[in-house]
Structure 1
């Protein structure tokens, strides 16, 4: 069906014992779109992402992939569909070089022997396509900056040719220049037609790259916003559940002058 979202969640709920973590959550992600998933700590963002990634399937609700209902019971099922997830800890091996990290678990072999030449060529091609600047693909990951490490982790997720990439706080603890590198990469993913779910607490980053913003509050949807038509204050109000806070009061003072 034309215009069908790549990924659509309908009425997703999740409970851990007596605690209801998600209740009737909806979410849509289209091709070539960056959707920011925001909310305060405990809002249910991580649980929702794990449901999509196959780590913790929902108890109720429906997940639709390219218009068809699917059951994502494990990470391998999610990867098979075309869902790649880059968690905040990156899961990189400091003792390996860039090539070793990119192909960890997906090594190219020739007659049962690692084909280092083929892997190095593929790594260089991938990084060049994404305009990622790293001194050498043979440099140990331990010697890379935080931003470079993040781009390596994102690049690794693309080897499976995903259609949706989930980025969990990709700019957390990064400096200004490193953050810019990662946000530039997010924009290139969108330009290549991928759908991106960006989890972030940084509203500046969200407004810089997101097309739409989905707000979770206490495990429920609390607003969907088109970034270009929404103020930062409106998003913060949806996150906190309050129309009166320090940000909105500051804005009101500015308008009164």
Structure 2
């Protein structure tokens, strides 16, 4: 595996006697969109939480920009420039866009919030992604559509100059137009030189925006292929059986069925 912006080697994770991740090797490069796919129980959520510093790994190596690192908590991951946009988005409905984007990282002092600077930086983050569907950064999040909420969550990661962004099912429950907006944002993130990990069950979205596809099966990374070199049916076979005769990929040995 070539060195990337973020590289994982030999990552193992168990919960009690249940092995969830087995010798996972995975990389994300700058300007790259990698789709992480797999059936329910494949270990996707666990892998994402390990990268985010939520779950400590039992063994394995993490390298960020070539340097070995320890992701012992979410703050350590965020400090490196790793951000996760979860499916529930973690936005506060009762706050406006600016307040959400700076929540916990407000500009100003103990006695004074620099609202003007925060508004300007929020607008700049949205503008950098060519977002035109949000008319005011002072709109309450409760008034936004699903696509607009996803946009705010993604722009928040851009605001903090993240280098690797993990998007957990970003188009789930979105309509056609909103899905298009979000997929455009994903490509813009990569064009800006960020590494993007797209976790998705929607293969149409995956084939549209991903440069590579990494397939997890029962906690093992069974394939990492260029999107342009595989078909939908081949990826489905990898997801459901962990093997593909057409690609010459055999089913791995598995010791346990993991849960996410």
| TM-score in terms of structure 1 length | 0.91
Q: What is the distance in 2 between the residues matched to 1:108 and 1:242?
A: 48
Larger helix percent: 1
Determine if the alignment matches structure 1 residue 10 to structure 2 residue 2: no
Q: What is the distance in 2 between the residues matched to 1:83 and 1:156?
A: 12
Q: Which residue of 1 aligns with 2:106?
A: 107
Q: Which residue of 1 aligns with 2:44?
A: 45
Matches within 5 A, 1:167-182: 167-182=167-182
Q: 1:230 to 1:103 in 2, by over 3 A?
A: same
Q: What SS class does the counterpart of residue 57 from structure 1 fall into?
A: coil
Contact 1:36–1:197 (Cα < 8 Å) also in 2: yes
> Unaligned 5+ residue runs, structure 2?
245-260
- Report the alpha carbon displacement of residue 110 of structure 1 after superposing the two structures with TM: 5.3
Determine if the alignment matches structure 1 residue 148 to structure 2 residue 148: yes
Q: What is the distance in 2 between the residues matched to 1:95 and 1:196?
A: 29
Q: Which residue of 2 aligns with 1:189?
A: 189
Q: 1:110 to 1:14 in 2, by over 3 A?
A: closer
Q: 1:78 to 1:242 in 2, by over 3 A?
A: closer
Q: Which residue of 1 aligns with 2:86?
A: 87
Q: Which residue of 2 aligns with 1:253?
A: none
Worse overlay, 34-43 or 61-70: 61-70
CA offsets 1:107-160 (integer angstroms, 9 cap, x no match): 111573011111111111111111112021111111111000001011112222
Q: 1:75 to 1:147 in 2, by over 3 A?
A: same
- Report the alpha carbon displacement of residue 229 of structure 1 after superposing the two structures with TM: 1.2
CA offsets 1:21-63 (integer angstroms, 9 cap, x no match): 0001110110000000000000000000111000002101111
Matches within 5 A, 1:226-241: 226-241=226-241
Q: 1:116 to 1:172 in 2, by over 3 A?
A: same
> Unaligned 5+ residue runs, structure 1?
245-257
Question: Over the residues paired in the alignment, what is the CA RMSD in angstroms?
Answer: 1.4
Q: Which residue of 2 aligns with 1:217?
A: 217
Contact 1:84–1:158 (Cα < 8 Å) also in 2: no
Q: What SS class does the counterpart of residue 27 from structure 2 fall into?
A: strand
Q: Which residue of 1 aligns with 2:56?
A: 57
Q: What SS class does the counterpart of residue 37 from structure 1 fall into?
A: strand
Q: What SS class does the counterpart of residue 113 from structure 1 fall into?
A: coil
Q: 1:42 to 1:112 in 2, by over 3 A?
A: same
Q: Which residue of 2 aligns with 1:71?
A: 70
Worse overlay, 126-135 or 45-54: 126-135
Worse overlay, 192-201 or 134-143: 134-143
Q: What is the distance in 1 between the residues matched to 2:208 and 2:103?
A: 32
- Report the alpha carbon displacement of residue 4 of structure 1 after superposing the two structures with TM: 3.1
- Report the alpha carbon displacement of residue 222 of structure 1 after superposing the two structures with TM: 1.3
Q: What is the distance in 1 between the residues matched to 2:162 and 2:149?
A: 20
| TM-score in terms of structure 2 length | 0.90
